[in-house]
Amino acid sequence: MIIWLQGPSGAGKTTVGRALATRLNLPFLDLDEEIEAIEGRTIVDIFSEEGEEAFRAMEWNVLLASMESDSSSESNPSSRVISLGGGSLEDPSIRELARTTGVRLFLDCDADVALARLEHDTPRPLLFEEDPTAAWRRLYRRRGHHYREADLVVDAGEEPAVIVDVIVDQLGSLEGPRWSMEVSIDGGETRIRGFRSVWVALGALADSLVG
């Protein structure tokens, strides 16, 4: 089972992900760091030189390579912790990959917490906006519904050690899928499984239809 960490820039996905992987004795992949290592340049440079669309393609290619190098079966990939970029979930292929291969954790925080962290972190493209706070909030509004599709939501405003404790405690209740059902698609039978309560999932679906 893959543990996917998703959320906005500054939520602490890298720090928490690395600490969580250490606690659980699992491999850790930070998507942004992996891209920078492969490309030999920073995320800011990639955005500046090639644009966001090219960067999103790099994200998918890195994740795909990670899955293809996995020696386990496609339906049951090796356990690990993967930290996604703040905008990764705008790619529907990445959303589907995360949904079908593990548990998605949404590290949620507000703009003040995020920007305070980012000031002391590796520069991110949004920090070069005229108003970084407004830019962060705009991106959060645009991506928020993807973040909230997660199986678990964790308050990322706490210290990393506290966040990891909360995650480990909550993961204990998700040792297996919470629900599954047989459905017919194009005349064939397939099984859909999920880690969230089916009632929560249906509620999220209803909210999206109303919205």
- The DSSP code sequence of 12-54 is -HHHHHHHHHHHHT--EEEHHHHHHHHHTS-HHHHHHHH-HHH
Nearest to 193 by CA among 208, 207, 176: 176
Pairing of strands 188-194, 179-185: antiparallel
**Cα–Cα dist 4/80, whole Å:** 9
51-89: per-residue pLDDT in tens?
989 999 999 999 999 888 765 545 456 889 999 999 999
166-190: per-residue pLDDT in tens?
999 988 776 554 444 454 445 555 4
The two tokens of residue 41 are 């340049």
**Model confidence band, residue 132 (pLDDT cutoffs 50, 70, 90):** confident
Nearest to 15 by CA among 133, 114, 92, 100: 114
**Cα–Cα dist 6/122, whole Å:** 18
Would the pLDDT of 202 be above 80? no
Give the sign of the dihedral formed by CA 33, CA 36, CA 37, CA 41: negative
Least confident of 27-41, 46-60, 113-127: 113-127
Give alpha helix (H) positions in 51-131. Answer: 52-68, 92-101, 111-118
- State the pTM of this model: 0.79
Per-residue model confidence (pLDDT) at position 77: 67
Nearest to 47 by CA among 125, 118, 130: 125
Mean pLDDT of 118-123: 74
**Cα–Cα dist 195/93, whole Å:** 19
Q: Which H helix or E strand runs over 11?
A: none
Per-residue model confidence (pLDDT) at position 86: 93
**Taking a C-beta distance cutoff of 8 angstroms, is the pair 105, 152 a contact?**
yes
- Taking CA atoms, 194 is separated from 8, 70, 185, 190, in Å, by 23, 22, 17, 13
Per-residue model confidence (pLDDT) at position 162: 95
